Structure 1
């Protein structure tokens, strides 16, 4: 199947391109920079030549021209703004999403697969997040744009269009073109220690996300939603996993959730004047202290996917972060 892929030079998108090609599909890359996309894919071990459509997803006409060359679409392009200031959040996460999903529906592509996030349900309203959970009411710009995009994707589903929405949790693993989100927090915590606060994280390997997205590439299935939070781990368990794979004992420090929230808010203010690399924001803290497990069983059973162990994800992420110079070799212990 000819699958148009947006965000092919990003973390999830590049791994998805590799998985799609391995499954026999023909990815068509809709990207702003062909050079960047090729560089990212080569670093991932994918040296194939792909059909490329140069387009910014905020450009409706360029997006339509690219979509017309495919049979299905995987929309993985998004701006991330949890651990620091994002780019054009509304332009990409709302306008760009409408350009891709809406025009794909008009052109009759099937399926139309959209990579959402578990963040649209956080803070959660119950002890477990499912695809039927109520959408959250976030206070931050990133969360607000993701909710608006989510509602539009669901509108298309209600109209009967074959839109599939996948909700990954904290995505980690190797070969991340720009270190952010979970991997960015992993780097900071390995260097400076783990805050022991309530809540936890839903950890999912980027390669497993790619496999799920590839498994969704089956036409004629109609609207679908798949939860893919991954392994739920408390922050103590995340720290323990890092200790297990490195053979070292990382620093841990207890801090009240309110104090950490205040620290994140203070850093947000300081960032308006000075650049700070530490990925602690008020929004990130809210996700950290309120996250709960996700109900992934129907996704994994329905698509025939088995998640790899969290130890493998963390170990591979740390090795790659070391190789790229983001973490000193001494911090990863026996992984060296």
Structure 2
């Protein structure tokens, strides 16, 4: 099928383009910056030219023109504001989402797939997140825009439109064009240490998520929802995984939730006047200390998906961070590339 992909120059979108190609589909790119897309896609193995439509998803007319060239759509574009880097949150996560999903159903595209987040269920109302879990009542601008977009997508489903909503947890893996909150947090844990606090994190490899999104491209299935919580780890367990793959010992420090919230609020205030290279924010803490496991067994069974080991995902992410200069080799122990000899350097 011809699948229009928004956010194709981003982390999830670029990997999804590769997965769609591997599944025999024809991706059609809807991106703000075609130059960025042509730079990003070769890293994930997409080297052949693809049809590209330059459009901002906030521009309804441009979006409609691009959608008219496809049979299905995968909406992966979003602004993530958890660590303070968000742009036009409402414009992208609400108005932009409505431009894509609403016009796609008007044009008869099937399926209409949108990438949401398990964050729409946090803070959770129980010890496990399921598809029956109620939506959250977020405090933050980012959370509210994600919730508004979620309600719009669900309204379309309620009217019987073939909208598929996929809810991934924290996405990690190699080849991330711009570091997001999860990978920033992983880097910070290696460098500054891991806070030992309540909650935990669900980790899903971007390559597994991309495969799942590709398998959602099946017309005639009607409205669907899929949870992809990945591997849930307490913070001590994530530190242990980092130790296992690097052969080192990560620093750990006790951080009760009230203290962590207070420190994060102070950092938020400091960041308004000076740069601080640490991704902890009050918004991030709300997710960190509240997250619970996600029941995604039905999703994995229906899509025939087998998740790779979390150790592999973490190791591949750390190697890529070193290769791209985001992390010093000394922080990843045995994952660091071998030092070049003087003879190699001379060559």
1:53 partner SS: strand
Unaligned runs of 5+ in 1: none
Aligned to 1:205: 205
Alignment pair present for 1:137 and 2:129: no
CA–CA separation in structure 1 for the residues paired with 2:277 and 2:141? 20
Alignment pair present for 1:44 and 2:44: yes
Aligned to 1:321: 321
Which protein has the larger Cα radius of gyration, Structure 1 or Structure 2?
2
Aligned to 2:126: 126
Superposed displacement of residue 277, structure 1: 2.3
CA–CA separation in structure 2 for the residues paired with 1:97 and 1:184? 25
Superposed displacement of residue 195, structure 1: 0.5
CA–CA separation in structure 1 for the residues paired with 2:110 and 2:142? 28
Unaligned runs of 5+ in 2: 337-347
1:300-311 aligned within 5 A: 300-311=300-311
Aligned to 1:286: 286
Superposed displacement of residue 43, structure 1: 2.0
1:24-173 aligned within 5 A: 24-173=24-173
CA–CA separation in structure 2 for the residues paired with 1:273 and 1:138? 26
Q: Deviations over 1:59-105 (max 9, x none)?
A: 00000000000000000000000012310000000000000000001
CA–CA separation in structure 2 for the residues paired with 1:70 and 1:255? 49
CA–CA separation in structure 1 for the residues paired with 2:108 and 2:45? 33
CA–CA separation in structure 2 for the residues paired with 1:125 and 1:70? 39
CA–CA separation in structure 2 for the residues paired with 1:296 and 1:5? 24
2:264 partner SS: helix
Superposed displacement of residue 323, structure 1: 0.3
1:110 partner SS: coil
1:238 partner SS: helix
CA–CA separation in structure 1 for the residues paired with 2:236 and 2:14? 31
Q: Deviations over 1:206-259 (max 9, x none)?
A: 000001100000000000000001111000000000000000011101111100
CA–CA separation in structure 1 for the residues paired with 2:269 and 2:102? 37
Structure 1, 83-92 or 96-105: larger mean CA deviation: 83-92
1:80 partner SS: coil
Aligned to 2:7: 7
Aligned to 2:181: 181
1:84 partner SS: coil
Superposed displacement of residue 161, structure 1: 0.3
CA–CA separation in structure 2 for the residues paired with 1:38 and 1:44? 11
Q: How many pairs does the alignment contain? A: 336
2:332 partner SS: helix
Q: Which runs of 4+ in 1 moved over 2 A?
A: none
Superposed displacement of residue 44, structure 1: 2.0
Superposed displacement of residue 186, structure 1: 0.7
CA–CA separation in structure 2 for the residues paired with 1:275 and 1:319? 26
CA–CA separation in structure 1 for the residues paired with 2:276 and 2:149? 29
Superposed displacement of residue 117, structure 1: 0.2
Superposed displacement of residue 107, structure 1: 0.3
Aligned to 2:267: 267
Superposed displacement of residue 45, structure 1: 2.4
Aligned to 2:251: 251
CA–CA separation in structure 1 for the residues paired with 2:192 and 2:96? 37
Superposed displacement of residue 267, structure 1: 1.2
Superposed displacement of residue 46, structure 1: 1.5
CA–CA separation in structure 2 for the residues paired with 1:45 and 1:324? 17
CA–CA separation in structure 1 for the residues paired with 2:47 and 2:39? 9
